[in-house]
Structure 1
């Protein structure tokens, strides 16, 4: 049932995080491999490779596991159908066969098996010596490496692996091609996070060096971490005792930033985030917000008339996604900033969806310009795909390469609303069933809210859904438009409605902005319209439609 499934995912998350903290540099780990050979199949919760010893398959069980008279029991008291070590052994044998098959000869990589019970305290290890060291309990997860080394030594099945680690490369290749993965190989996202932390700190050091300048324009392409760096530096400025106002273009980004500032406000710091238009609403006197574009334009004009330095209780302004603001927005920003108020503006001209005016002279005059260095915030295959959309370049091989690596997926269905809904249901079901936490998934429509058939619904494909600015957005599947999700990201992003007629305008820009919202994987639900509309995915979509038995 759902409760048992979520308990299982939570147990695997504990193991994941323990390995992410402690895995030796020369070890490699994969999470969630479904192994297939003919009619036989098995799933390995974790596979850990030591180039000197072989590989270890770890079976994870949630709840308080017990053992009695040679049988293993779940916390509910129900006996397990198969002992966890037997399940690990079956998966290990299938993995060995797959490696042999791929390398074209019998390699017989040495392997061992282990079981891990992250929710079990005390000691339920088997009493016989050859199995005792093959079980890891909750206490072992503080640093699981010694226990894993004992498992290697206790259960190692001899083999004749070559001295080179080429078999590890084969496993990685097989993972993307022959296996059905749960999500990225275990360490991929962790390496990206580590790189982000290092580069964020380096970028912050540069911003600190620019702090004597009253105006700084910081330019950074998608993937340079400009929003994260802006947030971190805004917090530093707040800690220095200054009042900080962080202005955004979209409600979801403002909501996320303001929630992240809440702990600082609990310490008495004055820092908040809002959208420029909500600030305009405050300045203009409040009341019901405008219902249409013309109403907002009139409100902005009124706010410009009433705005003055005292209208904003802030010593320093931070403004993100400046490239999105129109002429009236910029006029209000110029009036608020005045000639002297310190302002840090962050922008990416490549992510502008509409034609926008340049910064007014009053904002740009005397500003120091700084370009954030490139930062790898997504797998290179996914970043290359995004660059192709940005460059309006046709290259179907980039999509094929990303799909082979496991960073990209393409689901092709007939051009009917019902089939598109079924395709999305299949994608979400597969992600859910394979252990991807729903809070790691965003479903983004490539059209606006009025045209979309999925945005604004309480559930999509029977999965509870929330907009990007919902208070519960951090713990549920987000379903929203690609424009409202600007500045945010999720590990997995599912893109829909690209074949809608209204998505044809500026289609490549839509795809560029949407693909860059994913930290690890993008899945596109595509219809036949993309054959002509998308020069990158079009050839692949055509191949899938022409294939026998295509849905």
Structure 2
């Protein structure tokens, strides 16, 4: 039965509901019964119009019956059809036999659109059921012989009555509909359609939930914005960079010259492109050292074609920064350091020299010890007030659980974002090929924009 249970919508009549129950009770599993099949009929003159077969009843060895159902009393006078209402009034209705014949022919045209359906279209029949009246042996009209009518007595013995209608149309010979024809009928009228929501759309929904969480975290700024020395600890995805950028923007909007330092060149370039504006300077630490050294004409050591030794990065460039500030004078009113776990205390001292009011200038450090790149032992000065970001507001719950397997820290962050999809892990001997397959699925079938996909590698770009 399609559907197994009728909906409660008002347009399904009592006669349809009663017949649906009768068919469900009386017919075995060899029969297929489909209720309210919408059939779109179109021709060049009248255009498209919708027909709805009340029931399509099919058996692989007996054929396919389109059955129209009419409840209440019925009258047929001079070619016109009327329904008798309980109060004695009557209303004109469409000729039920012409109606069901249209439905039969429309179904035939639909079936013929598929190779399997063409054969099934040859085993169609039609009839009309009047489940509440007795017709006896009357023929109601030339196109309505008794053989294709079902009255209330026929409905009581529904299977023999259906067989009678099918035999009238199709004869007594073998019916070569078979299971293939039945499946063609199902595919036409009740196809199994699965419309997958692309990952791109689901990403947008999840992103909305994550944005709400980042808003929650940003309330911290409203409470702590007047603090001059802050150290903010948080895991990846806890919103550290978002808060750092937002605080820098607010300081700049208040007229401060803000230095924003990070240790990731790609992040620095991204921030310059998307956030940069008056009062905001984005630099990597070593990039700042070389930039101000060149401006102040401070000579930097040269190492020819060889890579500079560690002391160049650890000592010589920070010293050049201090010397440059001695020539140029302090440049900034506020300092924000993202990824500050990669600082050394000497580097922080050099950065403090860039401030016009070193004692009172806002200095905020954002730290995640689990993302330490350099082997520095940075000790946060005692005057910095600590704050812990306790919620991962970037990732879904399933990604968070996977990442936490590698997390090291005294405070375990929470996750309150969307559940998300299962994390997929692939073991392969050909990583490049597998990554290509995943990208093809994401950017093709799942409609994810290429610019929204990041491929991370443990190697440098030229070796990945």
TM-score (norm: length of structure 1): 0.42
Larger Rg: 2
TM-score (norm: length of structure 2): 0.49
